[in-house]
Structure 1
Amino acid sequence: MQTYQLIATAAAGIEALVGKELRDLGYEVKVENGRVRFQGTMKDVIRTNLWLRTADRVKIVVGEFDARSFEELFDRTENIAWEDFLPIDANFPVEGKSHNSQLHNVPSVQAITKKAIVQRLSNAYHRRTRLAETGATYPLEVAINKDHVLLTLDTSGEGLFKRGYRKNKGGAPLKENMAAALVMLAHWFPDNPFVDPVCGSGTIPIEAALYGHNIAPGINRSFISEQWVNLVPDGLSDEVRDEADSLANYDIELDIHGYDIDQNMIDISQENSRAAGLTHDITFKQLAVKDWQTSEVNGVIVANPPYGERLSDKKSVHELYRQMGELYRPLTTWSKYILTADMEFEKYYGAPATKRRKLYNGALRTDLYQYWGKKDRSKPLNSKGFNENAVLKTSKGG
Structure 2
Amino acid sequence: MNQYFATVARGLEHIAAAELERLGAQEVSPDFTGVHFVGDKALLYRVNLWARTIFRVLVPLREFACSNADMLYREVQKISWDDYLHPDNTLAVDCTGGNQKLNHTHFTALQVKNAIVDQQRDKSGQRSSVDTDNPDVRINVHIHQDRCILSLDSSGGSLHRRGYRPAMGLAPLKETLAAAILDMAEWDESFPFLDPLCGSGTLPLEAGLKALNIAPGLFREKFGFFSWLDFDEKLWDEIWAEAEKAEALYLKSPIWGSDRDGDILNQARINAQRCGLEDQITFTQTELSQLEAPTDRGVLICNPPYGERLGDARELGELYKMLGDVFKQRFKGWNAFILTGNKELAKKVGLKTSRRIPVYNGSLQCTLLKYELY
Counterpart of 1:218 in 2: which secondary structure? helix
Aligned equivalents of 2:309 and 2:241: distance in 1?
48
Give the CA deviation at 1:145.
0.9
Matches within 5 A, 1:189-200: 189-200=188-199
Match of 2:345 in 1: 345
Of 206-215 and 291-300, more deviation after overlay is shown by: 291-300
Q: Could you tell me the percent identity over the aligned residues?
A: 34
Aligned equivalents of 1:73 and 1:313: distance in 2?
47
Aligned equivalents of 1:60 and 1:310: distance in 2?
35
Match of 1:131 in 2: 127
**Alignment counterpart, residue 5 of structure 1, candidates 3, 6, 14:** 3
Match of 1:17 in 2: 15
Aligned equivalents of 2:130 and 2:167: distance in 1?
33
Aligned equivalents of 2:5 and 2:310: distance in 1?
41
Give the CA deviation at 1:295.
6.2
Match of 2:369 in 1: 369
Aligned equivalents of 2:319 and 2:369: distance in 1?
15
Aligned equivalents of 2:302 and 2:318: distance in 1?
15
Length, aligned pairs only = 369
Aligned equivalents of 2:328 and 2:252: distance in 1?
27
Contact map agreement 1:298 1:373 (CA 8 A) in 2: no
Aligned equivalents of 1:261 and 1:105: distance in 2?
45
> What whole-Å deviation, never above 9, does each CA across 1:298-350 have from its counterpart, x for those lacking one?
31011011113479733442111111111213545311111111111332001
Residue 323 and residue 108 in structure 1: after superposition, are their counterparts in 2 closer, same or farther (change >3 A)? closer
Q: Which amino acid aligns with 1:20?
A: A
> What whole-Å deviation, never above 9, does each CA across 1:125-166 have from its counterpart, x for those lacking one?
x31x24144896211121101111011211212211111211
Structure ranking higher on relative contact order (CA contacts 8 Å, 6+ apart): 1
Aligned equivalents of 2:177 and 2:310: distance in 1?
26
Aligned equivalents of 2:36 and 2:62: distance in 1?
14
Contact map agreement 1:93 1:139 (CA 8 A) in 2: yes
Q: Does 1:249 align with 2:248?
A: yes
Q: Which runs of 5+ in 2 are unaligned?
A: none
Matches within 5 A, 1:304-323: 304-309=303-308, 313-323=312-322
Match of 1:45 in 2: 44
Contact map agreement 1:101 1:145 (CA 8 A) in 2: no
Aligned equivalents of 2:169 and 2:161: distance in 1?
15
Match of 1:396 in 2: none
Residue 234 and residue 294 in structure 1: after superposition, are their counterparts in 2 closer, same or farther (change >3 A)? closer
Contact map agreement 1:358 1:367 (CA 8 A) in 2: yes
Counterpart of 1:329 in 2: which secondary structure? helix
TM-score by length of 1: 0.86
Match of 2:288 in 1: 289
TM-score by length of 2: 0.91
Contact map agreement 2:306 2:341 (CA 8 A) in 1: yes
Aligned equivalents of 1:272 and 1:208: distance in 2?
13
Contact map agreement 1:79 1:120 (CA 8 A) in 2: no
> What whole-Å deviation, never above 9, does each CA across 1:79-104 have from its counterpart, x for those lacking one?
22322222342222222233344432
